Amino acid sequence: MKNVLITGATGGIGQTLVKVFHENGYSVCATGTNVEKLNLLEKKYDKRFKSIQCDLSDNDQIKVG
C-alpha cells in the first residue's frame, strides 16, 4: 500500500493533492489548521484517509519522539 502525508491540506493546492493521491489508490494522512475543512475532507474520503489538525509553523504543536 502506498502512503502519503500532505501538509496544508485545507488550502486549494492541498485539497487538490489529497484528491489526486486518493484517486490513485494512496492512503492519505492530511494536516491543516482549519478544523471544518478537515472534517469535510474526512467525510468526502472516508476510506484510506486520516486528518490531523495542527499548525506545523507552531513548534509547540509538533511532538518529537
Say if residues 5 and 31 touch (Cβ distance below 8 Å). Answer: yes
Q: What is the pTM of this model?
A: 0.87
Q: What pLDDT, on a 0 to 100 scale, did the predictor assign at position 33?
A: 95
In a domain, 44, yes or no: yes
Amino acid 65: pLDDT: 67
Q: What is the pLDDT of residue 1?
A: 82
Domain of 22 in residue numbering reads as: 3-55
Asked if the structure places residue 64 within a domain, the reply is no
Specify if 7 maps to a domain: yes
In a domain, 60, yes or no: no
- The CA-CA-CA angle for residues 50, 52, 56, to 5°, reads 140
Residue 35 lies in a domain: yes
Over the stretch 2-57, which tens digit does the pLDDT of each residue have? 999 999 999 999 999 999 999 999 999 999 999 999 999 999 998 999 999 999 88
What is the chain's length? 65
pLDDT of residue 61: 85
Is residue 62 one of the residues assigned to a domain?
Answer: no
In a domain, 61, yes or no: no
Nearest C-alpha neighbor of 45 from the set 4, 54, 33, 59: 4
* Domains contained in the chain, number: 1
